């Protein structure tokens, strides 16, 4: 199997692809807000502690397992222990669900590229996004009609994903050279533009002013670990399969440090573009920065477009540039969500990638149609929480237990040190067996307790029941897939 396996064209291609997988929409619309809401500049302390004690160690773990076992997540976990394969399948099922709605967000970006030319959102970007563009229904119980413009964007997204993956990882390595570097160039342009705007410094003060009292709150530290964990694309099977395409004598530790620091550095730098612009928006509207500060979809499709419209010159250009930024950030992550799913099936069964790739794309597209409806926005939010937020935390915890305690962290550390210039010590064992699983265990328990007490997001109780049922269903399916006979059995 190893002789026929695809290979990256170069180490640079692998690093750029891994960085592209890690750097996504969350770097622009989530990190700056999380930083601001949890102590501003002081948040960088728990953030970098989390990066060093969880992010980088887990990335080393996933790189080493994929590289040494030369297979995707299910295959790699099966070689670690026969009863561990289901963990790999659960990771792939979760990332598949993520791909089905992540592509819809990219479809929104495709639409907003066209809208930015004439600044179609006008003076009320919130009304335009919710009422004109999405045409939101009354709630999750009412799907309503399919929005044809979003459906067209979804078709474009999946065509782009298919043609980027069908020639293999060598071709993908060439594509990410552009789709990773273009966002960096755009972010630099937007930082420079943001810093020249009136009120920019007031926005940056809100972003960076340290509130050290926040460091005494446990939820701030949990937020830091959560942000690091999710921003690095951990527990998705992506890093495992990407590392499996590396040659046998490839450095693991250095690759993990380069990828992690590049991702987190991008998040921090992007904050300057976001908050300088929000400072300008606050001054233009005559309100404090907190009143215009939002995270997620609110920032990307409401607040930022409002600020763009108010720019003294070149508003359509910077609007177009912003949504090109979101598209190029997001498309790399979309590649990384599909590739591990394909590898899972081709590794276990005698399926050709030429057959599996279009099938995965078609099934994901069909499922994604639900999110293009008038009620789809609600279900996108629901699935993101139940299947991804809760699911990735559980998978990360299972990874630490399976590899750190059942297989043995010391064995994995020996593999890493055998091929890496930078050697890792026994501290890594302590982190993988103790620090990280404790943090993830607390986070998972915290979410479950909160879910039982209050449900999720103010939705009716039946919505939470559906979310839990889908998540449990994914676990059942992962166990079934693990028990099916493969090509080598």
Is 224 within a domain?
yes
291 or 370, higher pLDDT: 370
- Read off the pLDDT of residues 51-94 as tens digits, 9 standing for 90 and up: 988 899 999 999 999 999 999 999 999 999 989 999 999 999 99
222 band by pLDDT with thresholds 50, 70 and 90? confident
Question: What is the arithmetic mean of pLDDT over 346-373?
Answer: 95
Is 50 within a domain?
yes
Question: What is the arithmetic mean of pLDDT over 275-293?
Answer: 91
295 band by pLDDT with thresholds 50, 70 and 90? confident
pLDDT at 489 over 80: no
**Exposure b/e, 148-184, CB count within 10 A at least 16 = b:** ebbbebbeebbebbbebbeeebeebbebbbebbeebb
Q: Could you tell me which of 234, 210, 255 has the C-alpha nearest to residue 439?
A: 234
Residue partners of 261: CB distance under 8 A and separation at least 6 = none
- Read off the pLDDT of residues 85-115 as tens digits, 9 standing for 90 and up: 999 999 999 999 999 999 999 999 999 999 9
pLDDT-wise least confident of 127-131, 213-217, 360-364 = 213-217
432 band by pLDDT with thresholds 50, 70 and 90? very high
450 band by pLDDT with thresholds 50, 70 and 90? confident
424 band by pLDDT with thresholds 50, 70 and 90? very high
pLDDT of res. 290: 84
Highest mean pLDDT among 15-24, 213-222, 426-435: 426-435
pLDDT-wise least confident of 157-166, 179-188, 437-446 = 437-446
Domain that residue 371 falls in: 11-483
pLDDT at 3 over 50: no
Is 25 within a domain?
yes
What percentage of residues in the chain have a pLDDT greater than 70? Answer: 99
pLDDT of res. 171: 87
Would you say 435 and 229 are in contact if contact means Cβ atoms under 8 Å apart?
A: no
- Read off the pLDDT of residues 172-197 as tens digits, 9 standing for 90 and up: 888 999 989 999 999 999 999 999 99
Question: What is the arithmetic mean of pLDDT over 294-300?
Answer: 83
Q: Could you tell me which of 1, 66, 6 has the C-alpha nearest to residue 354?
A: 6
Is 3 within a domain?
no
pLDDT of res. 79: 93
Number of compact structural domains in the chain: 1
pLDDT of res. 33: 84
Would you say 276 and 203 are in contact if contact means Cβ atoms under 8 Å apart?
A: yes
pLDDT of res. 2: 39
Structure tokens, 74: 């299910």
CATH assignment at residue 173: 1.20.1740.10
- Cα separation of 273 and 364, whole Å? 33
pLDDT at 327 over 60: yes
381 band by pLDDT with thresholds 50, 70 and 90? very high
- Cα separation of 412 and 79, whole Å? 13
Is 76 within a domain?
yes
121 band by pLDDT with thresholds 50, 70 and 90? very high
pLDDT at 165 over 90: yes
pLDDT at 1 over 70: no
Would you say 348 and 86 are in contact if contact means Cβ atoms under 8 Å apart?
A: no
- Read off the pLDDT of residues 223-274 as tens digits, 9 standing for 90 and up: 888 888 778 888 899 999 999 999 888 899 999 999 999 999 999 999 999 9
pLDDT of res. 365: 98
Q: Look up the pTM and report it.
A: 0.93
- Cα separation of 270 and 36, whole Å? 13
Is 239 within a domain?
yes
What percentage of residues in the chain have a pLDDT greater than 90? Answer: 70
pLDDT of res. 294: 77
pLDDT at 425 over 60: yes
CA distances (Å), 254 to each of 6, 25, 56, 82, 423, in order? 22, 25, 10, 30, 9
Residue partners of 316: CB distance under 8 A and separation at least 6 = 116, 117, 118, 119
10 band by pLDDT with thresholds 50, 70 and 90? confident
443 or 466, higher pLDDT: 466
Average pLDDT, the chain: 92
Would you say 343 and 71 are in contact if contact means Cβ atoms under 8 Å apart?
A: yes
């Amino acid at each position: 199997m190893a002789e026929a396996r695809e290979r990256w064209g170069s180490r640079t291609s692998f690093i750029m692809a891994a960085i592209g997988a890690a750097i996504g929409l969350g770097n622009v619309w989530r990190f700056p807000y999380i930083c601001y809401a949890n102590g501003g500049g002081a948040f960088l302390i728990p953030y970098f502690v989390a990066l060093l004690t969880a992010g980088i160690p887990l990335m080393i773990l996933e790189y080493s397992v994929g590289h040494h076992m030369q297979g995707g997540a299910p295959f790699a976990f099966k070689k670690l222990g026969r009863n561990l394969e289901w963990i790999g399948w659960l990771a792939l099922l979760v990332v598949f669900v993520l791909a089905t709605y992540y592509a819809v967000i990219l479809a929104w970006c495709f639409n907003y590229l066209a809208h930015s030319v004439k600044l179609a959102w006008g003076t009320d970007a919130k009304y335009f996004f919710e009422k004109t563009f999405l045409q939101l229904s009354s709630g999750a119980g009412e799907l309503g009609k399919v929005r044809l413009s979003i459906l067209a964007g979804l078709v474009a997204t999946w065509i782009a994903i298919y043609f980027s993956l069908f020639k293999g990882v060598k071709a993908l390595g060439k594509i990410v050279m552009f789709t990773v570097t273009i966002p960096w160039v755009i972010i630099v342009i937007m930082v420079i533009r943001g810093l020249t705007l009136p009120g920019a410094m007031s926005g940056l003060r809100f972003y960076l002013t340290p509130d050290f009292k926040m460091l005494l709150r446990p939820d701030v530290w949990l937020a830091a670990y959560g942000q690091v964990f999710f921003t690095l694309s951990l527990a998705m099977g992506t890093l495992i399969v990407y590392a499996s395409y590396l040659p046998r004598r490839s450095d693991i530790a250095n690759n993990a440090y380069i990828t992690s620091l590049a991702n987190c550095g991008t998040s921090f730098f992007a904050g300057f573009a976001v908050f300088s612009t929000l400072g300008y928006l606050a001054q233009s509207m005559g309100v404090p920065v907190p009143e215009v500060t939002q995270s997620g979809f609110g920032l990307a499709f409401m607040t930022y477009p409002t600020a763009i419209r108010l720019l003294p010159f070149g508003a359509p250009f910077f609007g177009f540039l912003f949504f090109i930024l979101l598209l190029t950030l997001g498309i790399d992550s979309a590649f990384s969500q599909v590739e591990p799913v394909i590898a899972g099936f081709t590794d276990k069964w005698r399926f050709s990638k030429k057959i599996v790739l279009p099938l995965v794309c078609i099934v994901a597209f069909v499922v994604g149609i639900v999110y293009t409806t008038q009620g789809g926005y609600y279900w996108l939010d629901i699935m993101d929480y139940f299947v991804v937020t809760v699911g990735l935390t559980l998978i990360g915890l299972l990874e630490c237990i399976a590899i750190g305690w059942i297989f043995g962290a010391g064995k994995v550390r020996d593999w890493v040190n055998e091929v890496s210039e930078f050697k890792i010590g026994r501290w890594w064992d302590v982190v993988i067996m103790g620090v990280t699983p404790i943090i993830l265990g607390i986070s998972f328990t915290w979410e479950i307790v909160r879910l039982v007490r209050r449900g999720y997001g103010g939705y009716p109780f039946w919505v939470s029941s559906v979310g839990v049922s889908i998540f449990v269903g994914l676990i059942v399916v992962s166990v079934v897939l693990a028990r099916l006979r493969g090509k080598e059995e």
